[in-house]
Structure 1
Amino acid sequence: MRLALLACVALAACAPEAKAPDAVEAPAATEAAAAVAAEASPLAEGEIPAPAGEITISSPLAGARVSSPLVVEGVAINNWMFEGVFPAELAVDGEVIAQAPAQQQAPDNWTNPGPVRFKAELTFTVTEEKNAVLILREDSPRPVNPDSDEAGPARTVRIPVTLLPMAQ
């Protein structure tokens, strides 16, 4: 019995060190892409721009030509989410043509501090190329003031894209 215990301890001591999964880091957004997005897609009433570093979209980039389904991926700080999701919308001329939840991706968890990977899939139909805006909006806006339950403006990112019709 002692020999078995000694063998287990020796094996555990010789085993390679367990490595924690790499931390998720928000990739740096390019200034050019941010400038294009801000210029082409002004914020709507009740929206405020997301501060730099809070959310980074890895796909699609500003100005991308996209087809359906549009897969949106990136990294956001955890307080953008509520119950692991936040809204993603696709709008043409101010009209929302598709919406879907941007959902946390395993193994990330919105209840833990730090950045969380997310993914959304928006399905749309267009018969010709259309200029559109991908809108990502936090799902837990801060209250107007500490004594109020009224939600303040939502931090928002707007990304201009061109929608392509399905090949026939």
Structure 2
Amino acid sequence: MRLALLAFVALAACAPEAVSPSAPQTPAAEAPASAPLAEGEIPAPVGEITISSPLAGARVSSPLLVEGIAINNWMFEGVFPAELAVDGAVIAQAPAQQQAPDNWTNPGPVRFKAELTFTVTEEKNAVLILREDSPRPVSADSDVAGPARTVRIPVTLLPMAQ
């Protein structure tokens, strides 16, 4: 009897965590990116970064709040760069920063947030660019960093209401 009870407790402890049916489910866009990569960039493998906001194709106004989850080695000192580009020109930059209680020095996923401020006078097609800040070396015996894993998300920028 004790053995059966012990086995039941052990199995219950190994079961996946139940998700509350009332918990809101946030749609998320996972890498690979929806916009073409620039020369020298490599796509982020699926599962390395998940963007919950904005989704690809979103119509956004300033300030643009970017939120998601990335594996810890995307960050250095708890941040990685976020940029907003129109026709290849960067119009806004901000650090995507870890969110408490997550810590980039611990293994596993880390929640992040960035806020990009921009000004446009008319609707503009743009690309949100998220790039790792800890690129891997080009080889095992090299200190030279290779290309950064990158996610590009197409968005439409909206002018401020007057």
TM range (shorter): 0.7 to 0.9
Give the letter for the 2:57 counterpart: G
Corresponding residue for 1:126?
120
1:105-116 correspondence to structure 2 within 5 Å: 105-116=99-110
Distance in 2 separating the partners of 1:120 and 1:29 = 16
2:52 equivalent among 50, 53, 58: 58
**What fraction of aligned residue pairs are identical, expressed as a percent?**
90
Distance in 1 separating the partners of 2:71 and 2:27 = 13
Higher radius of gyration, 1 or 2: 1
1:107 counterpart SS class: coil
Corresponding residue for 2:93?
99
CA-based RMSD: 1.7
Distance in 2 separating the partners of 1:113 and 1:147 = 24
Q: Quick check: 1:28–1:53 contact (8 Å CA) kept in 2?
A: no
| Offset from partner CA, 1:86-107 (integer Å, 9 cap, x none) | 0000000000000000000000
Normalising by the residue count of structure 2, what TM-score does the alignment of the two structures yield? 0.81
Q: Quick check: 2:31–2:43 contact (8 Å CA) kept in 1?
A: no
Corresponding residue for 2:151?
157
Corresponding residue for 1:68?
62
Give the letter for the 1:129 counterpart: E
* Higher-helix-fraction structure: 1
Corresponding residue for 1:3?
none
- Structure 1 residue 28 displacement after superposition: 7.9
Give the letter for the 2:86 counterpart: V
Q: Quick check: 2:31–2:45 contact (8 Å CA) kept in 1?
A: no
Corresponding residue for 1:82?
76
Normalising by the residue count of structure 1, what TM-score does the alignment of the two structures yield? 0.78
- Structure 1 residue 150 displacement after superposition: 1.1
Distance in 2 separating the partners of 1:117 and 1:42 = 25
User: Is 1:140 aligned to residue 148 of structure 2?
Assistant: no
Q: Quick check: 2:28–2:55 contact (8 Å CA) kept in 1?
A: no
Deviating above 3 A after TM superposition, structure 1's stretches of 4 or more consecutive aligned residues are 27-30
Give the letter for the 1:152 counterpart: G
1:79 counterpart SS class: helix
* Gap regions ≥5 residues in structure 1: 1-26
- Structure 1 residue 148 displacement after superposition: 1.4
2:143 counterpart SS class: coil
The number of aligned residues is 137
2:73 counterpart SS class: helix
* Gap regions ≥5 residues in structure 2: 1-25
Corresponding residue for 1:21?
none
Distance in 1 separating the partners of 2:119 and 2:37 = 24
